[in-house]
Structure 1
Amino acid sequence: MTTIRVAVPRKGRPLEVVLDRLAAVAGIEELADTIISTLRYEKAVTKDRQTAGEDVYDRLLTYSGTDRYTPEYTLLRDTRPGYPRRIVFDSLCVDLGEYDLQLVGREEPFRALRKHAFALGFDSADLVLEEVVGIESEPLSSLDQLNDRIDPHDTDVRVVEGLGDTVDHTLLSTPDVATAPDRSFLTDYEGPLCISPRYERLVRAVLGSDVMEGISFRYPGGREEEAAIASVGIGVYLAVTGSTARDHGLEVGERLFPSETVLLENPAERNDAVTSVVDLLRGEISAAAR
């Protein structure tokens, strides 16, 4: 049987949405639910919201199996002070009939594809913007524009499609700065804009170089992002409902760009099996039909 290896995140929302997609196309609902609930529990233990009855190594032994179709987990050693080791996803094989799909946990799936270690993978669209998307005068506003902004000399990796788990990078402001902040407001705005430092290149690409003239970045510096934006007056941050922003007295403005898990492909590693798996993952065929 041909095995197709796919790089996936080790934890969090991006991994959950990948498992949900596989549950839908390959009928592994119960298995996906088990992995998701296990990792949510381990996250709660890490954040002291749950107390584990067993040692971390005993839990790791309990969760993992020797059969390739049973999920395996591993310990992530967090280098940040005060953060304990955390059990995260490591690998799983999913039977697709003609093919085995081997999910392989990676801290940075996108970079693994860039190194040609995988033909397929899932990662956040944010990382594509932060690493390889060119900054041009025109703003970037949708996932459909990503591939056109990737320099082919920089990487072979391309975005196939988004998985729909959208959280938007949203323009937020205090009422005295703007009551409905949008791109047109930023066109004439000059002054500080509060962002997370990890999103600096992303924000430049999303706003476009013309809009960036006269704007200088400010960073939270350890404060909660919404509180930092409230002190600066305007900023960009991830928002789902905007309720937390409103709790800080902020106006929720234009949603600038979706932060979404995306299916990635390295076309240089493509073959017929990979093409079939891409069709399956996009929902164009079902595993039962194979």
Structure 2
Amino acid sequence: MGETIPIAIPRKGRPLESVLDRLANRLGIGDLADDISSTLRHEKALTKGSLSSDHDVYHRLATYSTVENPTEPEYTLFRDDRAGKPRRIVFDSVTIPLEGVESVPDGTSIQLVGREEPFRALRTHEFALGFDSADLVLEEVVELRPEPLQRIADVNARIDPTDTDVRVVTGLGDTVYHTLMATPDATPPSESVDREFLEKYAGPLCIVPRYERLVQAVLGTDILDGIDFVYPDSTVEEEAAIADTGAGVYLTVTGSTAREHGLLLGEQLFPSETVLMENTAETDATVDAVRSLLADGETETELAIGR
């Protein structure tokens, strides 16, 4: 009987789909990945009210999770943050045998285990490997310095080894950007909305509260002299709050909502992306082999400046 390596992964959303895409490409589990993704998209639509079902959430959960072996996916319930706090079905676990994979010992399997915050599960030594947003690493454990962060390698260099044994291995490329944006009134004529703009800017900068430390880490503390963070009211759309403030930082994919609020899209300050992580205190030869399998052939993702 071989070893089963548990891997913490997100329970839902874009990060989970990115993990499933990576595993489908590495391990040839496209059908399993598609099954999990389609189930969760369907359940999300039911939670949002854009679809309806004749069966309640408990009946659907029982149907999904009546499985004959651990190689079939199981699901669990999560209290969603939408109005009314509805119950939502999210991913729980599945075991994937790595049969015929030469780079790992015979009989090795991985068990994907859903967690609300996989990074914190690695920090508490529950897992040796996991996937989570790079944002959470920057929000919690990187050291703040005057100079900005530029690459994933810089993130690891700024983690105090006495604080955590978790390190970032590689990014998955599912990148959206924390983007600097401002109103035309806040932007001097002929100037770009970029870091140089921030160096001259003095006043409020609107950000989501949880990203305060992240923004400080990636921009560097020097550039923030004369800048005061303000936060959007929970009842106001983030882009609307930035438009009222004059300048801010928020996640963008297309930037269409920001433009609808009259904002100029500026520099893509840093990427928000799912990353593979390891707890270096919990690794052994089999974990190392699995990590290499999941990360093999990937180019290190940069926290890019000036894109």
TM-score range relative to shorter protein = over 0.9
2:8 equivalent in structure 1: 7
TM-score (norm 1): 0.95
Q: Are positions 1:163 and 2:163 aligned together?
A: no
1:30 equivalent in structure 2: 31
Q: Secondary structure at the match of 1:169?
A: strand
Cα displacement (A) at 1:140: 1.7
The answer (yes or no) to whether the contact 1:180–1:251 under 8 Å persists in 2 is no
Q: Secondary structure at the match of 2:6?
A: strand
Q: Are positions 1:18 and 2:19 aligned together?
A: yes
Cα displacement (A) at 1:142: 3.1
2:93 equivalent in structure 1: 91
- Output the amino acid matched with 1:94: I
For residues 270 and 229 of structure 1, what CA distance do their matches in structure 2 show? 44
Q: Are positions 1:242 and 2:238 aligned together?
A: no
For residues 279 and 82 of structure 1, what CA distance do their matches in structure 2 show? 43
Q: Secondary structure at the match of 1:42?
A: helix
Cα displacement (A) at 1:143: 2.4
Q: Secondary structure at the match of 1:176?
A: helix
Which is worse superposed, 259-268 or 214-223? 214-223
Q: Are positions 1:152 and 2:161 aligned together?
A: yes
2:221 equivalent in structure 1: 209
2:233 equivalent in structure 1: 221
CA RMSD, Structure 1 to Structure 2 (Å): 1.4
Q: Secondary structure at the match of 2:25?
A: helix
Cα displacement (A) at 1:78: 4.0
For residues 170 and 141 of structure 1, what CA distance do their matches in structure 2 show? 15
2:302 equivalent in structure 1: none
For residues 240 and 109 of structure 1, what CA distance do their matches in structure 2 show? 24
2:279 equivalent in structure 1: 266
TM-aligned CA distance change 1:52 to 1:131, over 3 Å: same
For residues 132 and 60 of structure 1, what CA distance do their matches in structure 2 show? 36
For residues 169 and 78 of structure 1, what CA distance do their matches in structure 2 show? 24
- Output the amino acid matched with 2:204: P
For residues 90 and 126 of structure 1, what CA distance do their matches in structure 2 show? 23
* Aligned equivalent of 2:146, options 137, 140, 148: 137
For residues 4 and 23 of structure 1, what CA distance do their matches in structure 2 show? 17
Q: Secondary structure at the match of 1:31?
A: helix
State percent identity of aligned pairs: 64
1:112 equivalent in structure 2: 121
1:76 equivalent in structure 2: 78
2:199 equivalent in structure 1: 187
The answer (yes or no) to whether the contact 1:142–1:258 under 8 Å persists in 2 is no
Aligned length: 285
For residues 90 and 252 of structure 2, what CA distance do their matches in structure 1 show? 26
Runs of 4+ in 1 over 3 A off after TM superposition: 78-81
Q: Secondary structure at the match of 2:181?
A: strand
1:288 equivalent in structure 2: none
Cα displacement (A) at 1:283: 3.2
Cα displacement (A) at 1:171: 0.2
Q: Are positions 1:47 and 2:48 aligned together?
A: yes
1:251 equivalent in structure 2: 264
The runs of 5 or more residues in structure 2 that have no matched partner are 100-105, 299-307
For residues 140 and 186 of structure 1, what CA distance do their matches in structure 2 show? 16
- Output the amino acid matched with 1:218: V
2:303 equivalent in structure 1: none
Q: Secondary structure at the match of 2:142?
A: coil
Post-superposition CA distance 1:69-118 (Å, at most 9, x none):
00000011347761201100000011112311100001110011001110
TM-score (norm 2): 0.90
Post-superposition CA distance 1:202-224 (Å, at most 9, x none):
11111111111111111110211
The answer (yes or no) to whether the contact 1:141–1:256 under 8 Å persists in 2 is no
